[in-house]
Amino acid sequence: KAGVTQTPRYLIKTRGQQVTLSCSPISGHRSVSWYQQTPGQGLQFLFEYFSETQRNKGNFPGRFSGRQFSNSRSEMNVSTLELGDSALYLCASSGRLAGDTDTQYFGPGTRLTVL
């Protein structure tokens, strides 16, 4: 099966700008989760979408938002970028396939640098 894809892979923005990241899950998966990964904080859960509805949310400010489309593709938006938003943003898809137990499969990530 084709894996999770994320675009773009790398992004450089300046403070105050906004950014939109895209994630396409594994075909047939309906759940998409987003994470922020930094060296000091590790993997931090942002939110999870299932069938176009946000089902779980982490402890991030409202500048971080997301949505999911009917084809399960998801986008994440960060407005008014801050230097601290520089991180690797990972999305993970999961679905009840045979033999799986809601295992999450990660995409390659988007490396965001805020200058």
Residues found near another protein in the complex (CB under 8 A):
4, 31, 33, 41-45, 48, 50, 55-56, 58, 90, 92, 94, 101-109
Shortest Å distance, C-beta 80 to another protein: 26
Residue 89 burial (C-beta neighbours within 10 Å; 0-12, 13-18, 19+):
buried
Cβ 42 to another protein shortest distance, Å: 4
Q: Between 48 and 85, name the residue whose CB sits nearer to another protein.
A: 48
Q: Which is nearer to another protein, 31 or 72 (CB)?
A: 31
Nearer to another protein, 62 or 99 (CB): 99
Three-state secondary structure along 1-66? Answer: CCCCEEECCEEEECCCCCEEEEEECCCCCCEEEEEEEECCCEEEEEEEEECCEEEEECCCCCCEEE
Compute the least distance from the CB of residue 24 to another protein, in Å.
14
